[in-house]
Amino acid sequence: MRKKVSIIGGGNVGASAAQLLAHDGIADVVLFDIAEGMPQGKALDMAEACPLWNSSVSVKGTNSYRDTEKSDVIVITAGIPRKPGMSRDDLLKTNAEVVKSVAAETSKLSPDAVVIVVTNPMDVMAYVACKTSGCNHRKVLGMGGILDSARFRTFISFELGVSPSDVEALVMGGHGDQMVPMPRYTTIKGVPITKILPPEKIAPLIERTRNGGAEIVSLLKTGSAYYAPAAATCQMIRAILFDEKRILPCAVYLEGQYGVRDIYVGVPAVLGARGIEKVIELELNEEERADFDRSVSAVKALLEKITV
């Protein structure tokens, strides 16, 4: 039997993720949205493309949560996107209510699913989804670290004129302006970028990574990024459905790792069929520790503004 992925939110991120899954034939896809006709139209368009992609999966659009029943993976993209001048944090209270509703509905129908949260502010929304659904925290995770690391890889490849596929990057902390790109753990074919680029060249790359989402919002003017977030989400889905045991930077619930408890924040983790199978604890130097703690504090400050 083919695996089933339900994407909650048929906007740009959700629809792009659905397209990638359908194109690669990874799983049957259900695209849910409250807007009548919109998910059905997008799903039908994708279904009609499947013969051209040599893909045998089904793609269904729906306004009913019932169609998401027995999903292997639930992806939550629902919520309002950023607009120019807005931070991810500005979306806090509105999106918290959306995610609460989604988590409550989907957990009843797919209690064993792994849940990937994309909605911003993502670390807080992952916490909201976990607490609302009552799911094992290892099966609820946030996407941001993979996206942030991909942006860091991209900017490094621009700077050095090398393929981004040869760059391995790590970004930790919250998925926001206080995220923590990690140059010491970022390599090109195994060589740390600290051995290739001087600090004055690395600093602007870190800053551009932290503002990567805002840069796209300012260019688009009417929305936020979706191609890279969708691709990051699909990398996580593939790791789960194929039990790949990938080490990926995800927002996970910490239980004392890195000296942090009862919060979701981005760290490297082993991702497989059971969700988060292991948190990888790295040795942080004094500067990295200070930056990480600052990022954690920013996430905690947001959590204190909502009731879960």
Residues with catalytic roles: 175
> Do 253 and 123 touch, CB atoms closer than 8 A?
no
Closest to 149 measured CA to CA, from 126, 180, 192, 117:
180
If you write DSSP's letter for every residue of 85-152 in order, what string do you get?
Answer: T--GGGGHHHHHHHHHHHHHHHHHH-TT-EEEE-SSSHHHHHHHHHHHHT--GGGEEE-HHHHHHHHH
User: How far are the Cα atoms of 9, 15, 82, 228, 289 from residue 241, in angstroms, in the given order?
Assistant: 21, 19, 30, 20, 33
For CA atoms 181, 187, 192, 196, the dihedral sign is negative
What HEC string does 2-58 produce? CCEEEEECCCHHHHHHHHHHHHHCCCEEEEECCCCCHHHHHHHHHHHHHHHHCCCCC
> Do 186 and 196 touch, CB atoms closer than 8 A?
no
Closest to 78 measured CA to CA, from 12, 26, 134:
12
